[in-house]
Amino acid sequence: MKNYIINTLAYNKQVRIMFIDNTDIIMQLCKNKNMDKLLKIVLSRTVSIASLISRNLKSDQRISLTINPTDRKYQIFADADSLGNVRGYINDELLNASLDNISIEELIGSEGYIQVTKDIGMDKLFTGVTEMKYGNIVDDFSYYFEQSEQTSALFSLNIVLNESNEIVLSRGIYVELLPGAPIELIDNIKNIISDNELLLYTLDSNKDFKDIPNLLFENIEILGIDPIQFFCNCSKDFFYNILSTLDKDELVDAYEFDKPIEIVCNRCGKKYEFCKKEIKKFI
């Protein structure tokens, strides 16, 4: 099990704490050669949070997150379902933007906002929107739960990149106070996480990540370890229709010189190649 979420109860069942290791999923999502370090981090944070909060979903439910920076032509998406299927992507405008030497806070801007849409089945959708008060995505989702769902929550995420700007580690923690839990528990848990960052978030740690909950918290109850996986429902048939939107001269050139046309899904990076015979139908 390469990507998973550890679901636990702690502090006499007053707090739900979830631990995620989704390194392989994040590596796959961030392999786009046009994605710089900043975009890899914002996408990783959004996808990790979607994965964590999806553990609260019931059968056949899905949750979708959209990060809307102040510049409205930019967007970051992630969604996940109750079965552990998750995906995420950055829209083309942001992916192709020039973002040299700016921070995440500068990308989000002063008027950024979060949109959370929960599909609860039977054609019923719940949508919540909050401002991005902190502009870093992580604290903004804690604020979202406080404002939109009246729940005290805490996210701690860490994404490690190597010298080649490649993702090598993605882990995180989601803390949710259950009804009746003292509010000060959030600060206690925050301090524990802060004091153990080397244990939690470094490649050199000799501890198995699945052992971490018991090392950090006393009397913690492991409810289960659930697999999560990247899933995109794209297909070659879907992209086949896109060929008809290409410039006719481009199609003729590809046909006459027997040059396959390649279309890449911007959500998962999967490549679909169309041969001369397939191109001919559109000429």
pLDDT digits 0-9 by tens, 26-81 = 998 988 767 899 999 999 999 999 999 999 888 888 999 999 999 999 999 999 99
User: Which range has the worst mean pLDDT, 49-53, 193-197, 273-277?
Assistant: 273-277
What's the pLDDT score for residue 266? 66
CA angle 170, 217, 221 (to 5 degrees): 90
CA angle 168, 37, 201 (to 5 degrees): 35
What's the pLDDT score for residue 268? 67
Mean pLDDT in residue range 1-24: 94
Residue 156's pLDDT band (boundaries 50, 70, 90)? very high
pLDDT tens column, 98-132: 888 899 999 999 999 999 998 876 667 789 999 99
Q: What is the pTM of this model?
A: 0.85
The sheet that has 76-81: what strands, in order across it? Answer: 125-131, 113-119, 62-68, 76-81, 85-90, 229-230
Q: What domains can be seen in the chain, in order of their start residue?
A: 4-230 (3.55.30.10), 236-280 (3.90.1280.10)
What's the pLDDT score for residue 120? 72
Amino acid at site 120: I
Residue 205 scores a pLDDT above 70:
no
Write out the two tokens for 139. Answer: 């604290």
Residue 82's pLDDT band (boundaries 50, 70, 90)? very high
